[in-house]
Structures are given as structure tokens and as C-alpha cells.
Amino acid sequence: MSTQRSAADDARPAPLPTELLDYLQHLQVERRLAQRTREIYSDALRRLDASARADGVALQAVQPHHVRTWMARAHRGGLSPRSVALMLSGWRGLYRWWGEQGSVSINPVQGVRAPRQAKPLPKALSVDHAVALAEHRGKDGDARLLARDHAVVELLYGCGLRVGELIGLDLRPGRDRAGWIDRNDATAHVLGKGSKRRSVPVGRAALQALDAWLALRESMAKADEPALFVSERGRRLGANQLRARLKQTAVAAGVPAHVHPHMLRHSFASHLLQSSGDLRAVQELLGHANIATTQVYTKLDFQHLSKVYDAAHPRARRRG
């Protein structure tokens, strides 16, 4: 029995030295960081302590070349770029704190960058799921809210608007307005990132949904409220309210995904590119300043084509 306990003790990580425990106490008491954040920092400090012990380096004598070596070692050992970045953040904070106390003359982690993370592709709905969501007509609940939510979905997916652009729309146009929809020429005028204005065509389905909402809006909005979309309280619809209602609508429509407003913008761009192949037009409609930002959707388009190929082409099918 004593032998087993000794082996278990050997497997436990070495206790952190007092100076590292003092820093964790500082994070808890003075910085008031959340428990999960402190756990991440504690793990980072254990890695730092273990690396310094293994190479016989005093913690307060660590130099940038030590940090780079240990970072590379952790990455080779299977630590993801994101986890490496969090580890470096924990180390950087420790040496910054020691520097403020005069315990070290330099921050050896300053300027050391984690390995680049592969940017995740934007998540878009399939065409079938996007159409199912857009065509969904809720039956339970306030008819005014259901009409508003339907118009919101049609504009997000049909125009590729950002959530801030949509809730910023006003009922009537004006130079001081963030945005509005011109019903006569079927165009949404919005104020995008960098205070840049752009105009986006509004499709027939979105216009019909908008008309249905406008027929009910007056009974819900405050008399002096300029916003096109309002909440139950009669004031401008908030982003969090929109997200919650969209999630509910997606569940009711049977869409098997956690749908958020930006996913509909991604779906708009991806589906439009699949159909037209016109990257420059998609850039204009999204309001991207740089076409490199839009090019990520070509990867989504290629993924779509790859799935079609794998499913349909005789030479792509694996033989049993």
C-alpha cells in the first residue's frame, strides 16, 4: 500500500513556488479574475515552473530565448496555437507584475508571439436550412412579434446585413439617420463599419415580409420611436433581443444549428457566391473594404463543391 501511495505522489505536479502562488493570489484578490481564468493562468505557471526546473533556470533569470524554446517545446508536444497564446499571456502577466515590483529588469515574454492560428472558416447554413428558416411562419405567440421576426430573418439573409446595421434602420430616411429602406426602389441604405454607407438590393420576399411588419408596427411602437424594428416595449430592438428571438425561430423552423445573425450574413455571401461566382459583387454587397476579407467565402464555396463531388462523382466513391 505504501508503495502505491508513493507512486501516486510522484505523479502529482510539483507544488508551485511561493512567488508564483503570490501572483495567483494577486490575480484573485486584486485583479478579481474569474476562477476559470485563474485556472488557465495556474496551468500556464506550472508549465513555466516545470520548464525552468528542467533547464536549471531561475524564474527571475528567464530570457526571451528561454521563452521561445519552451514555447516551441509545448507546441511540438501537442499544445494548440490558442493554448500556447493563453500560456504566453499568463507568463507575460507574471513578468509584468514582477517588473512593477522591481523584481526583474525585463519582461522576457514581451514581443514573443504564439504560432499562428488557422483562421476558422465562417459558419454558414446550407441553402435548404436557410430557406427553411426564411420561409418559416410562426403560429404561436404575438402576431406582431412573429411578423417582425420574419422580416428580420428575410433582411439578414436576403441582404447580408450586419446585426448593427439592421437594428440601426429607421422608419424614414434622413441625412442624420443610420439607415433606412427605400420601398420604392427596393434598396436598403445602411451605415456599415468605418461609418461607410452602402446600398443593398432588397428582394421581393424581404419586401413582402417588411410590408407585413409595417402593417402591425404602429400598434407596437411608441409614437416618437424612429426605429424600423422595435421591441415589445415599443423602443428600438436591441441586439441581444434579436439574437434570442432568432435562436427561437431557428429551433421552431427545425434548423439543426445554433443560428446567430452573422451566420445569416455568412450564408448570404456563401450562397450568392455559389450561384454567381462574382467575388467582386459579393464584396460590394457585404461592404468589405478589402477583397481579401471576402475571399474566405471562396473556401466555403470550394468545400461545397468538394462535398458535391464526393457524393456524386463515380471516381470519388471509395470501393468497399
Active site residues per annotation: 162, 193, 262, 265, 288, 297
User: For the CA atoms of the chain, what is the radius of gyration?
Assistant: 27
C-alpha to C-alpha distance for 99 and 102, rounded to whole angstroms: 5
CA distances from 67 to 48, 80, 91, 127 (A): 9, 16, 9, 47
C-alpha to C-alpha distance for 265 and 123, rounded to whole angstroms: 10
CA triple 189-195-200, angle to 5 deg = 25
* Alpha helix segments (H runs only) across the chain: 2-11, 18-29, 35-55, 64-76, 81-101, 127-135, 143-159, 163-167, 204-217, 239-252, 261-276, 279-286, 291-294, 296-312
Give the DSSP H/E element, type plus range, for residue 169. strand 169-170
Assigned C-alpha cell, 169: 434602420
C-beta separation of 302 from 192 below 8 A: no
Beta pairing class for 197-201 and 187-191:
antiparallel
C-alpha to C-alpha distance for 63 and 69, rounded to whole angstroms: 10
C-alpha to C-alpha distance for 195 and 192, rounded to whole angstroms: 6
